[in-house]
Amino acid sequence: MSNRTIIPFGPQHPVLPEPIHLDLVVEDERVIEAIPSFGFIHRGLERLVEKKDFQEFTFVAERVCGICSFIHGMGYCQAVERVMGITLPPRADYLRTFWAELSRIHSHLLWMGLVADAFGFENLFMNSWRIRENILDIVEETTGGRVIFGAAKIGGTRRDVTNDKLKEIGRTLKTIEAELHAITDVFEQDYSVQQRLRGIGILSREDAFDLGAVGPTLRGSGEPMDARCEGYAAYRDIEVEPIVESDCDSYARCMVRIREIYQSFDIIRQVLCRMPDGETEIKVKGYPNGEHFARLEQPRGEVLYYVKGNGTKHLDRFRVRTPTFANIPPLLKMLQGCDLPDVPVIVLTIDPCISCAER
Amino acid sequence: MSMFKRSPWMVHYDGASCNGCDIEVLACLTPRYDVERFGVINTGNPKHADVLLITGYINEQSQPVVRQIYQQMPDPKVVIAIGICATSGGIFSECYNTKGGVDSTIPVDVYVPGCAARPESIIDGVVKGLAVLETKRAAWRIERKKRNRVFRLPFFKPKASPP
């Protein structure tokens, strides 16, 4: 005779910086099923397009989520620019890519810290965040913000970075990368990290694909899919190889993120080498009329923006499908049959960004 | 640092926000800003906490959660609203799902402006909150004394047992 209990997890929980609620149906120590409930940070910002004009809305789009803020702003701008038939000056494209990759690095470092905290490795948490501050310093020098960059703008970028500054940043990034090896070596070799991550939260390749997982969750299950290969912004000149691990467990997802950090450093290096000179913005005339789907790669996975304009300054519809939203069904699949103490680690391996998911 | 007479423990809850302030609160705990050297500890348990940090505004669903966390905290307590969303709703104040700032649900002692609020200003807000906590604690102590006077039991001296 099985004895089933429901254990509530969240919305306020020590490992979760953001509120999500899961009802865990457990039999002894084993989770049978997880039932999520949402809406704690639902803001309904998609409806704000009716109140703010399409240029002002860039700021709102950036505040879909504070961690991948720049890519949200960039994605919205990209969709609107495509509707209006604007071609960006190449320098704007390259600067956007530069900031997008910086935000990928800081997001992945943030995640490494949080997951280390979830399995009780306080030192690793502190060290990841210490290195992340160095990346944020670069962001602050170039954009003026730390988490909300405010640098994207319809028709280009709000700021320019001088070439001397870019060279200096290139040198700084080199030292940061060298420092980073000390942390990633721990993830790769440490016994306790492997103990907590290997074989935990298995998501097979078929399940990941069928349930619509995106980003590192999908690539950790061996499916090579990366929206950067589509070639938006400066990725049309830069080769991006999707990083794939085939172990399908939490450790594989962790490794995907670690290798992506180094890949981002590599992309930034290429961007800095090839940075074209010239204007960073062009003047925008008229109002968007038409619709477009933009597809970008965020630190957490693929994100979709739908924009529909009607020829006035207010858009008809804005829709964003965020990566965490797509990763919730795979998460519920992973939680089935896991041990109760592993739940925080598994929840963190999809890199949940609940603000994104609930918009 | 004479003002840090005690170690304030804080609990952090994210209302409806973009979580930018949220990660800045976490950044306060990490080596660059390191509030732990002042004895500030981020605890997950409201019953251990003196200070409640709230980022983001209040919506229908998070209102009971915020209220519950506030009620679970022992007296005296301080609430700090972090970021412009927690203060007034900020950029989202026109959204259909907004109930208003944190003060629409629970009393707020310190407001920290900014979008996103910088770690320095968050630490500044916490320090201001601690001053409020001290005054609250003094008032609370006087009140407790009064209460104890009313309910104090008469002092019984045990009778010496007969020889």
Quick: pLDDT tens for A165-179: 888 988 999 899 888
Give the CA count within 13 Å in the CB-facing half-sphere of A28.
6
Q: Does B59 touch chain A (CB under 8 A)?
A: yes
Residues of B in contact with A18 (CB under 8 A): 14, 19, 22
Query: How many Å apart are CA A30 and CA B53, to the nearest integer?
Result: 34
* Residue A26 counted as domain residue: no
* Residue B4 counted as domain residue: no
CA distances A149 to A73, A74, A136, A173, Å, are: 9, 11, 10, 19
pLDDT at A310: 87
User: Percentage of residues in chain A with pLDDT exceeding 90?
Assistant: 3
Instruction: Calculate the average pLDDT of chain B.
Output: 82
* Residue A34 counted as domain residue: no
In 3-state terms, what secondary structure has residue A172? Answer: helix
Domain containing A71 equals: 41-336
User: Percentage of residues in chain A with pLDDT exceeding 70?
Assistant: 99
pLDDT band at A120 (very low <50, low <70, confident <90, very high): confident
What's B105's DSSP letter?
Answer: T
Q: What stretches of chain B show up as alpha helix (H) in DSSP?
A: 20-29, 62-72, 83-88, 119-151
Q: What is the largest CA-CA distance in chain A?
A: 73
* Residue A346 counted as domain residue: no
Kindly list the strands in the beta sheet with A301-310, ordered across the sheet, starting from the edge strand earlier in the chain. Answer: A289-298, A301-310, A315-321
Angle between helical axes of A90-118 and A250-274 (0-180°, round to 10): 150
Q: How far is CA B156 from the centre of its chain?
A: 41
* Residue B159 counted as domain residue: no
Best of A12, A53, A132, A359 to disrupt the B interface (most B CBs within 10 Å) is A12
Over residues B149-153, mean pLDDT: 60
Over residues B16-25, mean pLDDT: 84
pLDDT at B127: 85
Which segment of A52-61, A243-252, B51-60, B147-156 scores lowest on mean pLDDT? Answer: B147-156
pLDDT at A1 over 60: no
Question: What is chain A's alpha carbon radius of gyration, rounded to the nearest angstrom?
Answer: 20
Q: Does A110 touch chain B (CB under 8 A)?
A: yes
Provide the token pair at A65: 């989520």
Residues of A in contact with B16 (CB under 8 A): 40-43
Handedness of CA A83, A84, A85, A90 (dihedral sign): negative
- Find where tokens 């530069």 sit: A98
- Of A44, A48, A66, which has the smallest distance from its Cβ to B18's Cβ? A66
pLDDT tens digits, one per residue of B88-126: 888 888 888 888 888 888 999 899 988 888 889 988 888
pLDDT at B158 over 70: no
* Residue A220 counted as domain residue: yes
Query: How many Å apart are CA A131 and CA A116, to the nearest integer?
Result: 14
* Residue A308 counted as domain residue: yes
Residues 44-73 in A contacting B (C-alpha not used; CB under 8 Å) = 44-45, 47-48, 51-52, 59-60, 63-67, 69
pLDDT at B163: 64
Domain containing B114 equals: 9-151
Handedness of CA A187, A188, A191, A193 (dihedral sign): positive
pLDDT tens digits, one per residue of A17-37: 777 788 888 888 888 888 888
In 3-state terms, what secondary structure has residue B74? Answer: coil
Q: How many domains does chain B have?
A: 1
* Residue B34 counted as domain residue: yes
Over residues B14-37, mean pLDDT: 84
* Residue A301 counted as domain residue: yes
Query: How many Å apart are CA A72 and CA A47, to the nearest integer?
Result: 16
Q: Does B46 touch chain A (CB under 8 A)?
A: yes
Query: How many Å apart are CA B70 and CA A333, to the nearest integer?
Result: 34
Q: How far is CA A180 from the centre of its chain?
A: 19
- Report the first-to-last Cα separation within chain A, whole angstroms: 43
Best of A60, A63, A137 to disrupt the B interface (most B CBs within 10 Å) is A63
Instruction: Calculate the average pLDDT of chain A.
Output: 86
Provide the token pair at A352: 């949940």
Query: How many Å apart are CA B81 and CA B16, to the nearest integer?
Result: 12
In 3-state terms, what secondary structure has residue A160? Answer: coil
- Find where tokens 């078929």 sit: A206
Residues of B in contact with A132 (CB under 8 A): 30
- Which residue in chain A has the smallest CA separation from B68? A12
* Residue A314 counted as domain residue: yes
pLDDT tens digits, one per residue of A39-69: 788 888 888 888 888 888 888 888 888 888 8
Chain A: nearest CA to B143, how far in angstroms?
Answer: 32
Q: How many domains does chain A have?
A: 1
Provide the token pair at A73: 């702003």
pLDDT tens digits, one per residue of A241-265: 888 888 888 888 888 999 999 999 9
pLDDT at B62: 83
Over residues A108-132, mean pLDDT: 87
Provide ipTM, 2 decimals: 0.80
What is the enclosing helix (H) or strand (E) of A106?
helix A90-118
pLDDT band at A281 (very low <50, low <70, confident <90, very high): confident
pLDDT at B5 over 80: no
Provide the token pair at A351: 């890199």
- Of A52, A66, A127, which has the smallest distance from its Cβ to B19's Cβ? A66
Over residues A209-218, mean pLDDT: 88
pLDDT at B153: 60
pLDDT at B80: 92
pLDDT at A190: 85
Contact by Cβ (8 Å): A155, A282? yes
Chain A: nearest CA to B115, how far in angstroms?
Answer: 8
Q: If we measure between CA atoms, which residue out of A27, A339, A300, A79 comes closest to residue A202?
A: A339
* Residue B160 counted as domain residue: no
Chain A: nearest CA to B1, how far in angstroms?
Answer: 24
Yes or no, beta carbons of B61 and A40 under 8 Å apart: yes
pLDDT at B79: 92
* Residue B59 counted as domain residue: yes
Q: Does B114 touch chain A (CB under 8 A)?
A: no
Q: Does B15 touch chain A (CB under 8 A)?
A: yes
CATH of the domain at B136: 3.40.50.12280
Over residues B33-55, mean pLDDT: 85
Q: If we measure between CA atoms, which residue out of B53, B78, B55, B75 comes closest to residue B132?
A: B78
CATH of the domain at A198: 1.10.645.10
